[in-house]
Amino acid sequence: MDILISGASVAGPALALWLNRYGHRTTIVERAPALREGGYSVDFRGDAHMSVLRKMGVLPDIERAQTHMGSMWNVNEAGKKLVAMPADLFAGDVEILRGDLARILHDATSSHTEYVFGDSIASIAQDADGVTVTFERGPERRFDLVVGADGLHSTVRALAFGPEREHTSYLGLYCAVFTTDNYLGLDYTGHAYSTPGKMVSLYSARRNTEAKAVFWFGSPPLDYDRHDLDRQRELLAEAYEGVGWEAPELLRRMRHAEDFYFDSISQVRLDSWSRGRVVLVGDAACCASPLSGMGTGLAVVSAYVLAGELAAAGGDHRAAFAAYEREVRGYAAGCQESAVGVSKWMVPESRLMAWFMNQNYKLLPYLPWKGLMAKSVRKTASAISLKDYGVTRPAGPAPRRRPSDRAS
Ligand SMILES: Cc1cc2nc3c(=O)[nH]c(=O)nc-3n(C[C@H](O)[C@H](O)[C@H](O)COP(=O)(O)OP(=O)(O)OC[C@H]3O[C@@H](n4cnc5c(N)ncnc54)[C@H](O)[C@@H]3O)c2cc1C
């Protein structure tokens, strides 16, 4: 089949890798002009995540690029270390910068997948034999299936399932991330400073050669253009006006950061993940939010199941999409559930709560429930039995056709 995937982050390339192995032809359209390298780290944990990465053949590359971060520190306004948050409290089996992961998945698929950057699907029209797709820039084309792997604000979902507001729920926080110099000289560690409803942190990255600034703030829903990065920079600066520690310096650096990323912390819930020949995967289908620590693992597991069920159903997309949902829906619901309530302790709304959390971190090494949190996250991440869909060898050479060959 000719399969179009919208979104070149994690879910899209992970799905393309499997579809290529099953002999399908894949095209990925990505709105950004090039691969997006931004974001902070993401974790994989437990048997389900790790076994899929192993089968994909990308685990050695991911392990080579892992962050190796140690304990993080909560600091006061003067930068004095208050309490260490032990690395094993949150860490998965392997942690990697999201941008490094996206690069690895892109490189693992680029010889068999046609990548089209700087474009977006504009319309989708299905009939009995296929889907006619128009693009904002490129010529109209025809595909057998269309997959939305275009994230929380999925265009495919909006076109095939209706407006975003009907399918997303906002969890009360915004997050911003960008890369800057490791000007505090952090050594495989991070420093975080909190004031009520806000947390700003700086983490060393890529073997201490650079650093990631990460901002969180609680807010009612904000009305802004998601493609207007200058407005998003203003919103962050407004939210952090008067906040101490390194916040003013980081806001100054934010103005020049090329990979500035800003988004709401939200979840996606849909009654169904497919409409005819259109199907969703990753955050577009079931975003659990970064608070779950599960979104990236969920994306690669879902991609594995979706491609596997398509193969198992011999290309009968109706049967395959129904089976894909049966396999993944309960698992995704568990991942989403794990994010509920996390914002209250991660970004405390009052000084009292922040003090309480610091005492908790201080005492944690001596408390009997040490490790319970990590165990519970691992349990959620492993709560799916994956079928063996029977493909073990990498895809053979697939001729790539020029866009003009396929324009209908
Ligand atoms: C730049 C960036 C930074 C991130 N940083 C973090 C982080 O620090 N921590 C964390 O936990 N999660 C982060 N995430 C989210 C994380 O990547 C996902 O939760 C998870 O990996 C699932 O990935 P996904 O591929 O389903 O969706 P996403 O990673 O959101 O990817 C969606 C992709 O679709 C593209 N896209 C959007 N609209 C269109 C369109 N109309 N046409 C074509 N392409 C489109 C986007 O540019 C993006 O590349 C980030 C995502 C992005 C895009």
Is 281 inside any structural domain?
A: yes
Q: Which amino acid is at 136?
A: E
pLDDT at 53 (0 to 100): 98
Q: Is residue 12 within 8 Å of 5, Cβ to Cβ?
A: yes
Strands 25-30 and 113-117: parallel
| CATH number of the domain that residue 73 is part of | 3.50.50.60
Query: Per the structure, how many domains does the chain have?
Result: 1
Establish whether residue 36 lines the binding site of ligand 1, counting it when its CB lies within 6 angstroms of any ligand atom.
yes
Residue 366: pLDDT band by 50, 70, 90 thresholds? Answer: confident
Predicted confidence (pLDDT) per residue in 108-166, tens digit? 999 999 999 999 999 999 999 999 999 999 999 999 999 999 999 999 999 999 999 99
Over range 292-299, report the average pLDDT: 93
Substitution candidate for ligand 1 out of 5, 49, 150 with most atoms within 8 A of CB: 150
| CB of residue 262 inside a 6 A radius of ligand 1 | no
Ligand 1 touching residue 300 (CB < 6 A):
no
Beta-carbon count within 10 A of 185 CB: 9
pLDDT tens-digit map of 159-209? 999 999 999 999 999 999 999 999 999 999 999 999 999 999 999 999 999
Helix (H, G, I), strand (E, B) or coil at 319: helix
pLDDT value of position 279:
98
First to last CA, the chain: 16
Q: What is the mean pLDDT of residues 365-386?
A: 82
The response to whether residue 177 sits with its C-beta less than 6 Å from ligand 1 reads yes
Residue type, 221: P
Q: Which of 177-186, 293-302, 350-359, 391-400 has the lowest mean pLDDT?
A: 391-400
Identity of the highest mean pLDDT range in 196-205, 350-359, 374-383, 390-399: 196-205
- Determine the Cα–Cα distance for residues 18 and 20; give it in Å rounded to an integer: 5
Exposed (0-12), middle (13-18) or buried (19+): which is 87, by Cβ within 10 Å?
A: middle
Distance 10 CA to ligand 1 centre (A): 7
294 assigned to some structural domain? yes
Decide: 364 and 374 in contact? Cβ < 8 Å. Answer: no
pLDDT digits (tens, 9 = 90+) for 256-280: 999 999 999 999 999 999 999 999 9
Distance CA 221, CA 266 (A): 10
Contacts (Cβ under 8 Å, ≥6 apart) of 262: 174, 175, 176, 229, 232, 233, 235, 236
Residue pair 224/108 in contact by the 8 Å Cβ criterion: no
Distance CA 69, CA 191 (A): 12
Residue 406's pLDDT band, with cuts at 50, 70 and 90, is very low
Better-scored residue on pLDDT, 299 or 403: 299
- pLDDT for 393: 52
Task: Spell out a b/e string for 368-406, using b for 16 or more CB atoms within 10 Å of the CB, else e.
Answer: eeeeeebeebbebbbebebeebeeeeebeeeeeeeeeeb
What is the DSSP secondary-structure string of 75-125?
A: E-TT--EEEEE-HHHH--SEEEEHHHHHHHHHHHHTTTEEEEES--EEEEE
263 lines ligand 1 (CB under 6 A): no
Give 90 or 62, the one with higher predicted confidence: 62
Q: Is 100 in the pocket of ligand 1 (CB under 6 A)?
A: no
pLDDT per position as a tens digit, 74-118: 999 999 998 888 777 777 899 999 999 999 999 999 999 999 999
Domain presence at residue 175: no
Whose CA is closest to atom 49 on ligand 1?
9
CA nearest to 37, candidates 260, 227, 228 = 260
Could you tell me if residue 97 is inside a domain? yes
Output the CA–CA distances (angstroms, integers) from residue 46 to 18, 64, 292, in the order listed: 21, 19, 14
- Residue 9 Cα to ligand 1 middle (Å): 5
Q: Which of 51-65, 194-208, 367-381 has the lowest mean pLDDT?
A: 367-381
What pLDDT is recorded for position 291? 86
With 90 as the cut, is the pLDDT of residue 13 above it? yes
Q: Is the CB of 296 under 6 A from ligand 1?
A: yes
Residues 90 and 293 sit within 8 Å (Cβ to Cβ): yes
Residue 228 lies in a domain: no
Four-point Cα dihedral 79, 352, 220, 280, nearest 10:
80
Question: How much is the pLDDT for 234?
Answer: 98
- pLDDT tier for residue 342 given thresholds of 50, 70 and 90: confident
pLDDT score at 398: 53
- What average pLDDT does this structure show over 10-31? 98
Q: Which amino acid makes up residue 363?
A: L
Tokens of 166: 């009907």
Mean pLDDT, residues 49-75 taken together: 95
Q: What distance lies between CA 147 and its chain's CA centroid?
A: 16
| Mutational test site, ligand 1, from 36, 40, 49, 98, max ligand atoms within 8 Å of CB | 98
> 257 CB under 6 A from ligand 1?
no
The ligand 1 atom at the shortest distance from the C-alpha of residue 214 is: 8
169 CA from centroid of ligand 1 (Å):
17
Mean pLDDT across the chain, nearest whole number?
92
Pairwise CA distance, residues 30 & 292, whole Å: 25
Residue 313 lies in domain? 2-170+267-345+373-391
Cα gap 143→336, rounded to integer Å: 32
Q: Which amino acid would we find at residue 370?
A: K
Cβ distance 361 to 74 under 8 Å?
Answer: yes
**The predicted structure's pLDDT at residue 395:** 54
- If you average pLDDT over residues 221-240, what whole number do you get? 96
Residue at 211: amino acid letter: A
pLDDT bucket at 407, cuts 50 / 70 / 90: very low
